[in-house]
A and B are shown apart, each in its own frame.
Chain A
C-alpha cells in the first residue's frame, strides 16, 4: 500500500476528485486549497479533478504517491470551471 496525496490550489469555489470512478472527499483548507490523502494498493488508476472558481483564476494540482508525481496547471474557463480530464496514475 502507498499513500496517495492530492493537493489542489487556487480554487475559490470548490474542487471535486474522482479516483477510479468514485468521488473522493476533499478537505477545504482555506485560501483556495483542497487536499486529501488515502492509502492505495499498487497499480494503475484513473483519476480526474474538476475545479470551480472565478473566471481566469490560475489553479494547480499535484497527485503523488512519493515516487510518481503528476502536476497539473490551468486557468478557469469563462464559466468558472476546469478539469484535468481523465488521467492515468501509477501507484508504486
Chain B
C-alpha cells in the first residue's frame, strides 16, 4: 500500500453531534465520591465487525480509536473464498469502557474468520473469448477509421456494425479509387490496408501483435495497439455498440451473490468492583477478561447499481455500564480524588440474536453524466436481541460523494444514525457523523 493509499484509507470520523435522547458520553463528575457516572450505551454488538470491508482502516471518533484490517482470498473449490479480519477499539484514555450498539465503536479485540461461496468467481470462457475477438475487431476498425479520415470527401461509408473484413474492403476500395494527395500518407494508408487485408476475417492475437510491431513508429496507428494501453471490452462497446452486439456473447448476469459463514470471537476486558451480598466492594480492583463467541451468516446480493447485504448471527453479548469510582483523600479543608472507570458488579454475558442489513445504491442517479462527483447512499439497520429480553437497534444512512476518477479509494459524506435501546432503558439517540475514507461496502 502506498503512502497515498494508506492516507486515503484512513477513515477519519471527525464530527459527532449528539442530539435528542440521553447523552451517551462518559463525562467525569469529579465532585462525586464513589458514585456512578453516566453510563454508556451498554450493549456490545458483534454484527458486521468488518463493515468497512477488506483492507486496513483507522477510525478516530469522539469515543476513541478503532483499527480494523481484513483480507479476502479466493480459492479454487466449491467454497471459493475465505476472509480473515481483526478490529480493535480503545477509548480516548486507552481504556475499554465505551460500549455502543454501533460495533465499530465497541471496545475490545475482535476477529472474524469466514469461508463462503461467491458467484463472481468462475470461468467465463465465452465472454472473454468473444470479448477478445471484439477488441481485435474494434482495433482493426480504429485503424481503418484513421485511413478513412485521410481520404477526405472520398471517404467510404462504413456501417456501424461492419466487422473488420467489411471495413477493410470498403475503405480499401475507396483508397484505391481516390488516394490522398500527400504521397507519404497514401503509402502509409496502403501499408495499413495491406497489413489488415489478410487477417481481417478473424484477427488473431499473434497477427495483431505482428501488425502493431510493423507500425510501432506511427503514433497515429500504434496508439490503438494493446501494447500502449488496452481498452476494455465494455469501454470499446461505447465506440462500436453494434459490433459489440454482434460479436460478444456470454456476458455475466447483472445479478450476483456471495454467502459467507463466520466465527467471530471477541476478546473483551473491563475493570469492575465486586458486589457481595448486595454491597459493592469499591476498594478492590478486579479485571474481567472474556472471550465472547459468535457465529455469523452473511449473504450479499448484487444487481447493477443495487447491492443488498444481510447478516444474522447468534452469540454472546455483554452489557457493561461503567461508573466513575473515585478514591477521595481529605486533609483538613483539602480533598484530592483519584478516579477509575469501572463496572459495579461482574459483567454477565448473555446469548443474543443479532442481525444487520445493508442496502446500497451506487451510483445514485442524481447528478448528470458530466459531473466530477459520483454520489452513493446506504441504509444500514442492525438489531440485537438478548435472549433475556429487550433489544438494541440502530439505523444509519450514510450518504457520500466520490470523485469519478477514484470512487473506491476516497469518499466523503455524512452519516445520520438513530439508536433505540430497550434493555436496559438508556433511551434513544440521534447522531450525525461526517466521514472521509474508503467507500463503505455492504455486509460481506
Do A and B belong to a common assembly? Answer: yes
Give the interface of A toward B (CB within 8 A): 9-16, 18, 21, 23, 25-33, 46, 48, 50, 52-59, 70-88
Q: Lowest 3 A-B CB distances belong to which pairs?
A: A30-B55, A74-B232, A32-B408
Q: Which of A25, A73, A85 contacts B75 (CB 8 A)?
A: A25
Q: Which of B70, B129, B441 contacts A86 (CB 8 A)?
A: B129
Nearest A residue to B360 by beta-carbon distance? A54
Nearest B residue to A77 by beta-carbon distance? B234
Does B5 sit within 8 A of A, measured CB to CB?
Answer: yes
Chain A residues, CB < 8 A from B131: 48, 83-86
Nearest A residue to B254 by beta-carbon distance? A79
Bound CA span A88–B136, Å: 12
Convert B244-277 into 0s and 1s, putting 1 for each residue whose CB lies closer than 8 angstroms to a CB of A: 0000000111101010000000000000000000
Q: Which of A10, A28, A54, A79 contacts B406 (CB 8 A)?
A: A10
- The number of inter-chain residue pairs (CB within 8 angstroms) is 180
Chain A residues, CB < 8 A from B256: 13-14, 52
Q: Is the CB of B233 within 8 A of A88?
A: no
Nearest A residue to B55 by beta-carbon distance? A30
25 chain-A/chain-B pairs, Cβ below 8 angstroms = A13-B256, A16-B120, A18-B123, A28-B73, A29-B55, A32-B408, A48-B131, A48-B132, A50-B128, A52-B120, A52-B302, A54-B376, A58-B407, A59-B232, A70-B227, A70-B230, A73-B231, A74-B235, A75-B235, A81-B251, A85-B130, A85-B134, A85-B233, A86-B131, A88-B206
Q: Which of B230, B254, B439 contacts A80 (CB 8 A)?
A: B254
Of listed B232, B233, B235, residue having the most chain A CB within 10 A = B232
Nearest A residue to B439 by beta-carbon distance? A12
Bound CA span A55–B364, Å: 10
Convert B105-141 into 0s and 1s, putting 1 for each residue whose CB lies closer than 8 angstroms to a CB of A: 0000000000000101111110111111111000000
Closest CB of chain A to B116's CB: distance in Å? 12
Q: Is the CB of A86 within 8 A of B123?
A: no
B192-235, CB < 8 A from A: 205-206, 209, 226-227, 229-235
Q: Given contacts A80-B254, A84-B230, are A23 and B56 in contact (CB under 8 A)?
A: no
Q: Is the CB of B302 within 8 A of A31?
A: no
Chain A residues, CB < 8 A from B231: 72-74
Does B281 sit within 8 A of A, measured CB to CB?
Answer: no
Does B53 sit within 8 A of A, measured CB to CB?
Answer: yes
Q: Is the CB of A71 within 8 A of B234?
A: no
Nearest B residue to A16 by beta-carbon distance? B121
B5-49, CB < 8 A from A: 5, 8-9
A12-B408, A56-B363, A74-B232 known; 19 new pairs, CB 8 Å cut-off, are: A14-B120, A16-B74, A16-B122, A25-B74, A27-B71, A28-B54, A30-B9, A30-B53, A30-B56, A54-B376, A58-B406, A70-B230, A72-B229, A75-B234, A81-B251, A81-B252, A85-B130, A85-B132, A85-B134
Nearest A residue to B208 by beta-carbon distance? A88
Q: Is the CB of A30 within 8 A of B302?
A: no
Chain B residues, CB < 8 A from A74: 231-235
Nearest B residue to A28 by beta-carbon distance? B72
Bound CA span A2–B195, Å: 33
Closest CB of chain B to A2's CB: distance in Å? 18
Chain B residues, CB < 8 A from A88: 205-206, 209
Bound CA span A31–B408, Å: 6
Q: Is the CB of A31 within 8 A of B5?
A: yes
Bound CA span A71–B130, Å: 20
Q: Is the CB of A70 within 8 A of B235?
A: no
Of listed A30, A56, A84, residue having the most chain B CB within 10 A = A30
